[in-house]
Amino acid sequence: MKLRGQERYSNNYSLCLGNILSEISVNGTLYPLNSLDHKLLEESAGVFDLYSESIINSPSGKKIEQLMGGDILTWEEWLALYKAAAAEVNDGLSVN
């Protein structure tokens, strides 16, 4: 039996887990992790991958991909496009 709003909390937990996994992948050497921590993170990453894949393959995920153009950009590529679009709207935001 699902409680009202339970899925919303599940999505929030997934977002939190994604942020934790991202942080560990970048700055993991700064944390004093032991072998149990690594095992738990590996298991969590596997579950997160399955969950993420189901969202990506869902009708909503396909719609989001379509709206975003389907291209996967790096942060630098996205930022350059954002700056160019902002400069079109406001000349004061133009970057030389």
83 occurs within a structural domain: no
Those residues with Cβ within 8 angstroms of residue 17's Cβ, 6 or more apart along the chain or in another chain: 44, 48
Express each pLDDT in 29-50 by its tens digit. Answer: 999 999 999 999 999 889 888 8
Report the pLDDT value the prediction gives residue 1, as an integer from 0 to 100. 45
Within a domain: 73: no
Instruction: Tell me if 80 is assigned to some domain.
Output: no
Specify the number of domains making up the chain.
1
67-88 pLDDT, tens digit each: 777 666 788 888 888 888 888 8
Q: Residue 27: which domain range? A: 1-57
d(CA 28, CA 21): 9
Q: Please check whether residue 23 lies inside any domain of the structure.
A: yes
Assess if residue 15 is contained within a domain.
yes
Residue 32 lies in a domain: yes
